[in-house]
């Protein structure tokens, strides 16, 4: 059996690696090909998976346009390899801008491979009208949020809800101990462009909080050593904030901090999982934000709020991401134990809705079931 996997971001690379392990645990002799990152490439074998994450992980329409020629070349490579290698299935992992176009091209080429989407694109947030078209080009949708399954099945697309893979990866990262009093955690994101826009706002809010809280300690988690250097450059502009910078400690910090500020993205669900009382921040280039505002149809940006269908986490977006307003809400969480307890109580059903651990194992069963029909 040969499977061709395509992931375009670090999170997709992690999900792809988990899927490869689960598939191998269930069936011997599977060969893996495709596009991904270092984790998938290491598991698949030398030269089997193109490691393109460093170039493919773009943010916003401006980056997409800037890299259009590169993506067009990689698209052609993927189509040629699939036609030549004739895999039993093509598994598209998240990354909808590239992967949904690839699915349509494969259907047009009448490929015999099953085309499977793992981790549904958030079309329910920006274009529900795409679901019927997706049903025409996909053989199976494997989704990780419970409300997605009925949306796709209404269009006749076979859909399996497997739960969120985050539950497996985070379970092993729990630490013992109490939260540290007056510790503020900052989580500005993993992309440099996000960090440049969001981290200064976090530090300004922290500066305001420190003016009335002599015992406040501030710690920020960087996604890499290189990102730590970028964050250090920004932090030097705010000498009044004694911000300790650490590398790859976000999960541990989420469990130690009294409260936090979190950039929109996967980290908001991670913070919810670990019970961190926090606020959500997001700032982007104005053109990217305006286009996104016109397209997005949901009330909230943060997944915890989408899952709860109400604002359990305060969102401070774009022009509303003002340091004074952010500091006021974070200060409420820092100072009020009852507010923190209520916040954590609101998060528990959100995490429970994500299902049970074992998402990658269930996804592997769904892939094999589709191929072996």
pTM of the predicted protein model: 0.83
Question: For residue 56, what are the domain limits?
Answer: 2-165+358-371
145 secondary structure, DSSP code: S
- The reply to whether 196 and 323 lie within a common domain is yes
Is residue 38 located within the same domain as residue 114?
Answer: yes
Same domain, 108 and 212: no
Q: Are residues 18 and 95 in the same domain?
A: yes
pLDDT (mean) for 57-70: 69
pLDDT tens column, 143-192? 999 989 999 999 999 999 999 999 988 988 999 889 999 999 999 998 88
Q: Is residue 277 part of a domain?
A: yes
The verdict on residue 282 lying in a domain is yes
Distinct helix (H) and strand (E) counts, the chain? 19, 13
Number of domains in the chain: 2
DSSP notation for 329-341: HHHHHHH-HHHHH
The answer to whether residue 174 sits within a structural domain is no
Q: Are residues 188 and 332 in the same domain?
A: yes
> Would the pLDDT of 109 be above 70?
yes
Cα angle for residues 198, 63, 316 (degrees, 5° grid): 25
Question: Does residue 170 lie within any of the structural domains?
Answer: no
For residues 160 and 220, membership in a common domain is answered with no
Q: Does 148 share its domain with 216?
A: no
Evaluate if residue 290 carries a pLDDT over 80. Answer: no
Statement to judge: residues 246 and 161 lie in one domain: no
Mean pLDDT on 101-127: 89
Q: How far apart are CA 367 and CA 19, in angstroms?
A: 9
If asked whether residues 134 and 190 sit together in one domain, one would say no
**55 pLDDT more than 80:** no
Region 128-147 average pLDDT: 92
Pair 190, 75 in one domain: no
Q: What's the CATH number where 189 sits?
A: 3.40.50.2000
In a domain, 78, yes or no: yes
Residues 151 and 92 in one domain: yes
pLDDT at site 264: 87
Q: What is the pLDDT of residue 291?
A: 44
For residues 362 and 317, membership in a common domain is answered with no
How many Å apart are CA 361 and CA 366, to the nearest integer? 9
> pLDDT tens-digit profile of 311-348?
999 999 878 999 999 999 999 999 999 999 999 999 99
pLDDT at 61: 61
């Amino acid at each position: 059996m040969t499977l061709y996997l395509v992931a375009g971001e670090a999170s997709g690379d992690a999900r792809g690696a988990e899927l490869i392990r689960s598939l191998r645990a269930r069936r011997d002799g599977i060969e893996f090909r495709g596009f991904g990152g270092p984790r998938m490439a290491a598991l698949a074998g030398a030269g089997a998976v193109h490691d393109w994450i460093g170039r493919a992980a773009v943010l916003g329409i401006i980056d997409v346009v800037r890299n259009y020629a590169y993506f067009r070349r990689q698209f052609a490579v993927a189509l040629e390899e699939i036609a030549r290698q004739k895999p039993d299935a093509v598994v598209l992992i998240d990354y909808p801008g590239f992967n949904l176009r690839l699915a349509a091209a494969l259907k047009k080429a009448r490929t015999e491979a099953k085309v499977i989407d793992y981790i549904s694109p958030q079309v329910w947030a920006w274009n529900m009208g795409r679901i019927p078209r997706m049903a025409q080009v996909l053989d199976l949708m494997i989704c990780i949020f419970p409300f997605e399954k009925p949306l796709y099945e209404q269009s006749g697309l076979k859909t399996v809800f497997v739960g969120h893979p985050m539950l497996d990866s985070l379970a092993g990262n729990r630490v013992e101990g109490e939260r540290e009093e007056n510790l503020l955690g900052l989580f500005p994101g993993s992309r440099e462009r996000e960090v440049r826009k969001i981290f200064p706002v976090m530090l300004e809010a922290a500066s305001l909080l420190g003016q009335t809280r002599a015992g406040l300690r501030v710690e920020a988690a960087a996604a890499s050593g290189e990102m730590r250097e970028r964050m250090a450059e920004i932090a030097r502009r705010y000498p009044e904030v004694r911000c300790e910078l650490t590398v790859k400690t976000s999960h541990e910090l989420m469990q130690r901090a009294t409260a936090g500020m979190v950039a929109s993205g996967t980290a908001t669900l991670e913070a919810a999982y670990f019970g961190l009382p926090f606020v959500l921040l997001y700032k982007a280039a104005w053109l990217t934000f305006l286009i996104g505002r016109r397209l997005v149809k949901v009330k909230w940006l943060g997944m915890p709020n989408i899952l709860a269908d109400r604002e359990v986490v305060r969102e401070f977006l774009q022009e509303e991401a003002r340091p004074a307003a952010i500091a006021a809400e974070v200060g409420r969480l820092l100072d009020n134990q009852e507010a923190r307890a209520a916040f954590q109580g609101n998060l528990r059903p959100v995490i429970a809705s994500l299902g049970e651990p074992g998402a990658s194992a269930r996804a592997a069963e769904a892939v094999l079931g589709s191929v072996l029909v």
